[in-house]
Structure 1
């Protein structure tokens, strides 16, 4: 009976930890950009036993956020072509702060 009890407790523990790792495995399989957020939410759910964090991790892992930067850059290139300004075809690098590093120039060419 003791062996059965120990095996049952270990089996329940493994099942519980496997269940909590589902969002992380989903995000890792799809190379999700918010993998760290999903991992943090799953870890908070594990230690606090608040299921809302686990549900949030599943939702973040399950949905890819739409790409809004590419259409905006395309619009900016089209507007630059219409105004006769030189168009840079390469996409500007995004800094750590999240804003594109673009040098602004005055209309008269200074700056």
Structure 2
């Protein structure tokens, strides 16, 4: 028995059914589409995962480091709570106390140098 079908068998087949020794274009297009969609989904997930770091990048260095550390913990432990805390921390504008504390320390140094010169 001959198992090879003649072209007459494919005359009433749908357009996507290919005959023997023909290239399945639909399979190739769908494989390329699937690879593209998986790649784009991965890029979207990485952008979403690093969203708190992008927000905190405009802020202070310490805040950015905390948010980046929480992002890494969220990625490696798969705990969404770390990501949520990092996002909330990135959205909060933490006041800069370094200028205030620097002025206080300069004032204390001036006061101590005045007292040392008068003694």
When normalised by structure 1's length, the TM-score is 0.59
> Which of 84, 87, 90 is the matching residue for 1:58?
87
Contact 1:32 1:64 in 2 (8 A): no
* CA root-mean-square deviation: 3.0
Ranges in structure 1 where 5+ consecutive residues have no aligned partner:
74-89, 94-100
d(CA) in 1 for partners of 2:51, 2:60: 14
Ranges in structure 2 where 5+ consecutive residues have no aligned partner:
1-29
Query: Which structure has the larger Rg?
Result: 2
> Which of 55, 66, 72 is the matching residue for 1:43?
72
Question: How do 1:1-111 and structure 2 match up within 5 A?
Answer: 1-28=30-57, 30-33=58-61, 34-66=63-95, 70=100, 91=103, 92=105
Q: Per residue, is there more helix in 1 or in 2? A: 2
How many residues end up aligned between the 2 structures?
A: 82
Q: CA deviation at 1:45?
A: 1.1
Q: CA deviation at 1:68?
A: 5.9
Contact 1:32 1:61 in 2 (8 A): no
